[in-house]
Chain A
Amino acid sequence: MNKKNDYIAGTVETGIGTVPVIATTWSKSDRWSTIKVRWSVGRMRYRVMPGLYAVGSPDRLSRVFVSANFKLSFDHLRRALNGINAWILVLDTKGINVWCAAGKGTFSTKEIVRRIRIHHLDQIVDHRKIILPQLGATGVAAHEVKKMTGFSVIYGPVKASDIKPFLEAGLRAGESMRKIKFPMAERLKLVPVDLFYGRYYMLLIPVVFLLLSGFTVEGYSFNLAVYSGWKTTVNLFTGYFTGCVLTPALLPWIPFRRFSLKGLSLGWLAAIFLAFSGFLGAGVIEMISWFLMIGGLSSFMAMNFTGSSTFTSLSGVQKEMKTALPVQIIMGSLGLAGWILTRFIDL
């Protein structure tokens, strides 16, 4: 929970009790928290209390918007409602955003029906319409909500920032408001989550490589571990970042539809640069080993970005993984074996 709750600006009295009025601008702490959450800090604790809220000074004819109790979802909605008098019904989605909660079944028909009833929405407003974010449709059957509560579900635009044009158009969202777009800025916002995916491994594995770098045919050299081992760290992180950052950023421009191939191709391009810069060692076996490891790592991390992307299907990802995952595992293990071999045998 947000301890200070500084988004609550006052209260409004209704026939069935007091409803908190919320601010429609973001405070400094809202902004700072948004940045932290994008970097996975406290992501699963970033919640607001489910319930009914007011924006401006709503009356019995005001629109009702439904949202999730992930604070980032709630914040985008209230900011979009600046200057509008409206009600917000916040569902208990366990602190998960609308899209994912709809997929998991917490942003659901059942929860909407329950919230309409416990907050006596039928006594707050005279009309019988609620506006849902379009991406909530995965979890909600509009016709069932209507049957059970009398409230018609109207699906709004995908993005909260389109709410004003949506209202001006008479609750109609044109095709451009309905389509999910995935521009560079959106893709990059999601990069930190994937960067953090392998954070423990990416702390541990480079250390192991650094230590192993000290082995030579003649014995162990601590100096060598330090003076040449840092290159292995660069190689590993290049593979990781190519898959996690570069591939998402350049996603639509890289040929191949499979994310694993997009990642592999960029990983190998990066490896070519590293090879010419002398990072991959001098021997052929060592170089091939690095190509396998960097390519496999970049490919795996790029494939993970399917979870952040807005256009990959379950069937598609399953098909891709069926071949990609074994190949990545083989590349990684062969590469590792080859590289370790070159520590101990003069090839």
Chain B
Amino acid sequence: MNGFVYLPDVVTLELDSEKCTGCRMCTSVCPHAVFEIENKIAVIRNKDLCMECGACAKNCPEGAITVRSGVGCAAGILNGLLRGTEPSCDCGSSGGNCC
């Protein structure tokens, strides 16, 4: 059973294997084991597990990974909608219960 998988086919993660040098950094930083090393370069094992945190793209020295990263948080997106900004988990100046 895997009850911890979110919606399929929505994630914006892309890997350009041409640029990959096999440094394994993406496999170290990904909290959902989305990447694995095959024939000395990284491949995406299961894209739907990606939460778009952006750690892999940020830590790829070759710039081989792209993802539109951000918070997967309904309250944050609602905040952005109400204030006309990007989704943000800055829950305002009252700041009581922010993540």
Give the interface of A toward B (CB within 8 A).
40, 43-44, 96-97, 99-100, 102-104, 134-135, 137-143, 155, 158, 173, 175, 178-180, 182, 193, 196-197, 251-254, 257-259, 303-304, 306-321, 325
Chain A nearest CB from B8 CB (Å) reads 8
**Contacting pair B32 A314 (CB below 8 A):** no
- Residues of B within 8 Å of A138, CB to CB, are 53-55, 58, 69
Say whether B90 contacts A103, CB under 8 Å.
no
Are the C-beta atoms of B72 and A306 separated by less than 8 Å?
yes
List 17 extra interface pairs beyond A103-B71, A312-B51, CB under 8 A: A100-B99, A103-B53, A137-B28, A138-B53, A138-B58, A182-B4, A196-B97, A257-B8, A307-B74, A310-B31, A312-B6, A313-B7, A313-B10, A313-B52, A315-B68, A318-B87, A321-B78
Q: A43-B96, A142-B25, A313-B51 are in contact. Are A252 and B1 (CB under 8 A)?
A: yes
Question: Is B12 part of the contact surface with A, judged by Cβ < 8 Å?
Answer: yes
A310 touches B51 (CB 8 A): yes
A318 engages B77 (CB within 8 Å): yes
Provide a sorted-by-A list of 28 A–B residue pairs whose CB atoms are within 8 angstroms. Answer: A40-B97, A43-B97, A104-B89, A104-B90, A134-B31, A137-B55, A141-B58, A155-B28, A178-B31, A178-B33, A179-B32, A196-B97, A251-B3, A253-B3, A257-B7, A257-B8, A304-B75, A309-B72, A310-B31, A311-B5, A311-B72, A313-B6, A313-B72, A314-B77, A315-B68, A316-B11, A317-B73, A317-B77
Among B12, B31, B52, B95, which residue has its beta carbon within 8 angstroms of that of A135? Answer: B31
Contact B32 A44 (CB under 8 A): no
Contacts of B42 in A (CB 8 A): none
Cβ-defined contact, A155 with B29, below 8 A: yes
**From B30, B33, B49, B74, contact of A306 by CB (8 A):** B74
Asked whether B70 lies within 8 Å of A311 as measured between CB atoms, the reply is no
Give B32 Cβ to nearest chain A Cβ, in Å: 6
The total of chain B residues at the interface (CB under 8 A) is 47
- Nearest CB of chain B from residue A252's CB, rounded to whole Å: 2
**Majority-rule SS of A interface residues:** helix
Question: Do A100 and B89 form a contact, CB below 8 Å, given A140-B59, A319-B7?
Answer: yes
Query: B residues 29-72 with Cβ under 8 Å of A?
Result: 29-33, 49-55, 58-59, 61, 68-72
Once the chains are docked, how many angstroms separate the CA of A164 from the CA of B23? Answer: 25
Residues of A within 8 A of B78 (CB): 321, 325
In the complex, what residues of B have CB within 8 A of residue A137's CB? 28-29, 55, 58-59
User: B12 to nearest A CB, angstroms?
Assistant: 6
Closest Cβ neighbor of B99 among chain A residues: A100
Least distance between B92 CB and chain A CB atoms (Å): 11
A140 touches B10 (CB 8 A): no
Residue of B nearest to A306 (CB): B74
Cβ contact within 8 Å between B12 and A317:
no
Smallest CB–CB gap between A139 and chain B, Å?
A: 7
Using CB atoms, name the residue of chain B closest to A314: B70
Report whether B71 and A307 are in contact in the complex, using a CB–CB cutoff of 8 Å.
yes
Least CB distance from A133 to B in Å reads: 11
Complexed CA–CA distance, A304 and B78 (Å): 10
Chain A residues closer than 8 Å to B33, beta-carbon distance: 175, 178-179
Contacting residues, chain B, for A309 (C-beta < 8 A): 72
- CB B22 to nearest CB in A, in angstroms, measures 15
Closest-by-CB residue of B relative to A303 is B74
**Bound-complex Cα distance A143 to B1 (A):** 37
B89 and A252 contacting across the interface, CB-CB below 8 Å: no
